[in-house]
Chains A and B, each alone.
Chain A
Amino acid sequence: MGTPASKRLFKEYRALSSDPPDGITAGPVSEDDMFVWEALIQGPEGTPFEGGVFPAELKFPRDYPLAPPTMRFMVDVWHPNVVYPNGTVCISILHPPGDDPHHYEQASERWSPIQSVEKILISVMSMLAEPNDESPANVDAARMWREKRAEYETRVRDNVRKSLGL
């Protein structure tokens, strides 16, 4: 405690646990270390991810909230914006401002200190529903999503079923 980063993380944890958004749970893995969190995200309804619960790990830098955390899914997620197979999530809100060599993203979409864990997780949830195939982290998944949607959805559903042990 004491540093601005851990204090703010603790506040976010409190706020998230007393007023959690739908389908999202998150908190530090251990209360001794505010800088590593675990999150559970429900697959959004009406998408092939529906019914799945996706555990993810968030790691925060010491100068949070000046710099964004990194996020990694702990299960297989076949998605244009998730690195396969290591699960790292690549969306604009997780990219520090000014770090965009390809100019794919608007500056306003990127990380800013007024963003929060809650907003990240909500963005990730909507990312699951609506992939951004302009700057894919998983090119194969992006191509499959664009060209063979049925195959993509089958694969995603299979992964969901596998992750639930069915």
Chain B
Amino acid sequence: MDPSFDLPDSTDWISTSLPLFESLEAALRCEVCKEFYDGPVITACSHTFCSICIRRCITNDGKCPACKQAVQADKLLPNIAIREIVNRFQVTREDALELARRDKEELRVAENGGKKRKLDDTDLEDEDVGRQTRSRTTRSSQRSNGAREPRIEIPDSEDEGDAYVPEGLVPCPLCMKAMKEVQIWTHMETDCPKAQSSAPASRSRTKSKVMNPLQRRQKNESPAPARLPQLTYALLRETQLRDKLKELGIPASGKKDLLIRRHTEWLHLWNSNCDSDQVKTKRELLKELDVWERTQGGNARVVENKVMKKDYDGKAHADTHKSQFDELIANARRERAALKKKIAEDQIEGVQPTGTEGQNPEPPHPKPPAIVEAVNPYEGNDSALAIIREKVEEANRGGNILQSLEQHTSTSDLNTEAEPKVGHRAHSISSGIANPLGSPSRKMPMFTLPEDPVVDIDATSTH
């Protein structure tokens, strides 16, 4: 991903001394892909797009992206003037941008440390800056008026790439000598020092692949590759279509639907290549088709599923599948509870004969502070408090509070538990086991009656 940070963009101009170039450059970019026009074509409704972009759009919905009028792929015409402008602009872009950036940098230095630093043209500069710090536009407009033209001369330009080009003139793409545009062709053919000798070098220096005009002329003489016709897929059977793909020399695997999509994409690539002035070889086009295959074609799914995404959103997954998870958890709980209950039941049945119902002589001994704690949540709920107080009193009197409480538990259990037909005692015990969280019953021996009614009050209060 890192190298892509170098992607040139029209917003590069914003931070330079020529912010208005942003809109100029934006006008030279395709509105669909936001790149410089590549093989620009004009539609019947006079909108211009990259050939490949508009072809894909037409396949998608058959309409012009700008005005929504119906357009047809075979009515597209190359827009040569735009192509030339874009090519020229790309050649000069880098140098112009560099110049504008450096200019801005100098201005900033002058603004920040103008007093301290000794600049060659300090006196003039300081006044100038003082007047102009208000707005960017003022400055750039003054600049274009030539108010500060003398400063534009670059005293120590390392290479001719930074040469200043006066208004109305253009630099020769090879030797960068400024001249009128009409003179350039004769200049390059006759007296340009670099035309023959170092043309390749100069081409490799600039990033864009604009061709030496001489070469381009030769290229144009060779017959352009013919555009491929659309197929009427509905009339073709899968095998016939497969044969067509084989004829074209592109992969022919997959179902008919995929074959159609692949063929369509191949038409996009091939036909837009015909509109370009830098014709790609079939091998390059096949490589592009392969990229398509991996991202949108037959291999797309596989690649996506192979690795878990780095930013895999576990929470979202948990949220969307919450009901399933809840069900699983509930199932597990129920099973465990049933199992424990069964074990407890078995053991109780074994123990029952020697059971000690009513042989627990000590009266229950409630701990008042614990009750107060349990009561706290009901503060303000007077009726609940009254009931609880009553029970406490009853317990202190040594009555059969346990029994009444057990009845409470069992009725509450009837609503929730799967197997209600178990004896009272089993219930009070199993509920103690099934709900071990924060319950003092956990520490109790399994087969003695709970001595502490607080537990059971808890159970009733959840009711």
Residues of A in contact with B (beta carbons under 8 Å apart)? 1-5, 7-8, 10-12, 14-15, 18-19, 29-33, 36, 62-63, 65-67, 96-98, 107-108, 112-114
Whole-angstrom distance from the CB of B166 to the nearest CB of chain A?
A: 30
- Of B30-38, B242-250, B341-349, the one contacting chain A is B30-38
Interface flags for B1-20 (1: CB within 8 Å of A; 0: not) read: 10010010111001100000
Q: Is the interface of B mostly helix, strand, loop or mixed?
A: loop
A108 contact from B10, B61, B68, B309, Cβ within 8 A? B68
**Contact A112/B310 with A1-B1, A19-B14 known, Cβ cut-off 8 Å:** no
CB atoms of B11 and A65 under 8 A apart: no
CB atoms of A11 and B9 under 8 A apart: yes
**Contact A15/B11 with A33-B309, A114-B65 known, Cβ cut-off 8 Å:** yes
Residues of B within 8 A of A33 (CB): 309-311
B66 at the interface (CB under 8 A from A): yes
A1–B295 CA distance with the chains assembled, in angstroms: 10
CB atoms of A107 and B68 under 8 A apart: yes
CB atoms of A8 and B311 under 8 A apart: no
CB atoms of A4 and B33 under 8 A apart: yes
CB atoms of A1 and B31 under 8 A apart: no
Instruction: Report the nearest A residue to B66, measured CB to CB.
Output: A114
20 residue pairs bridging A and B, Cβ less than 8 Å apart:
A3-B296, A4-B33, A4-B53, A7-B7, A8-B33, A11-B9, A18-B11, A18-B14, A19-B22, A33-B309, A33-B310, A36-B311, A62-B296, A63-B296, A66-B57, A66-B60, A112-B66, A112-B68, A113-B65, A114-B32
A18–B14 CA distance with the chains assembled, in angstroms: 8
**Contact A7/B66 with A19-B11, A32-B311, A33-B309 known, Cβ cut-off 8 Å:** no
Residues of B within 8 A of A31 (CB): 1
Residues of A within 8 A of B11 (CB): 14-15, 18-19
B311 contact from A5, A19, A30, A97, Cβ within 8 A? A30
B328 at the interface (CB under 8 A from A): no
**Contact A97/B4 with A15-B9, A32-B311, A114-B66 known, Cβ cut-off 8 Å:** no
B88 at the interface (CB under 8 A from A): no
Residues of A within 8 A of B57 (CB): 66, 113
**Contact A98/B61 with A33-B311, A107-B68 known, Cβ cut-off 8 Å:** yes
A-B contact sample (7 more), CB < 8 A, given A19-B11, A30-B311? A2-B291, A7-B4, A18-B14, A33-B311, A63-B60, A114-B65, A114-B66
A10–B3 CA distance with the chains assembled, in angstroms: 12
Residues of A within 8 A of B309 (CB): 32-33
Whole-angstrom distance from the CB of B30 to the nearest CB of chain A?
A: 9
A15–B12 CA distance with the chains assembled, in angstroms: 9
A3–B289 CA distance with the chains assembled, in angstroms: 11
B63 at the interface (CB under 8 A from A): yes
How many A-B residue contacts, CB cutoff 8 Å? 86
**Contact A114/B31 with A3-B295, A18-B11, A62-B296 known, Cβ cut-off 8 Å:** yes
Residues of A within 8 A of B34 (CB): 8, 11-12, 15
CB atoms of A32 and B310 under 8 A apart: yes
Residues of B in contact with A (beta carbons under 8 Å apart)? 1, 4, 7, 9-11, 14-15, 22, 31-35, 53, 56-57, 60-61, 63, 65-68, 291-292, 295-296, 300, 309-311
Residues of A within 8 A of B1 (CB): 1, 31-32
CB atoms of A30 and B310 under 8 A apart: yes
A33–B310 CA distance with the chains assembled, in angstroms: 9
Residues of A within 8 A of B68 (CB): 97, 107-108, 112
Residues of B within 8 A of A67 (CB): 60
Whole-angstrom distance from the CB of B258 to the nearest CB of chain A?
A: 15
A83–B327 CA distance with the chains assembled, in angstroms: 27
Residues of B within 8 A of A98 (CB): 61
Whole-angstrom distance from the CB of B135 to the nearest CB of chain A?
A: 17
Residues of B within 8 A of A30 (CB): 310-311
Residues of A within 8 A of B300 (CB): 62
Interface centre among B14, B56, B65 (most CB of A within 10 A): B65
Of all A-B residue pairs in the complex, the 8 with the closest CB atoms, nearest first, are A114-B31, A18-B11, A113-B65, A30-B311, A66-B60, A3-B295, A113-B32, A11-B34
A3 contact from B14, B65, B67, B291, Cβ within 8 A? B291
A22–B57 CA distance with the chains assembled, in angstroms: 31
CB atoms of A14 and B310 under 8 A apart: no
**Contact A10/B4 with A4-B33, A32-B310, A97-B63 known, Cβ cut-off 8 Å:** yes
Whole-angstrom distance from the CB of B56 to the nearest CB of chain A?
A: 6
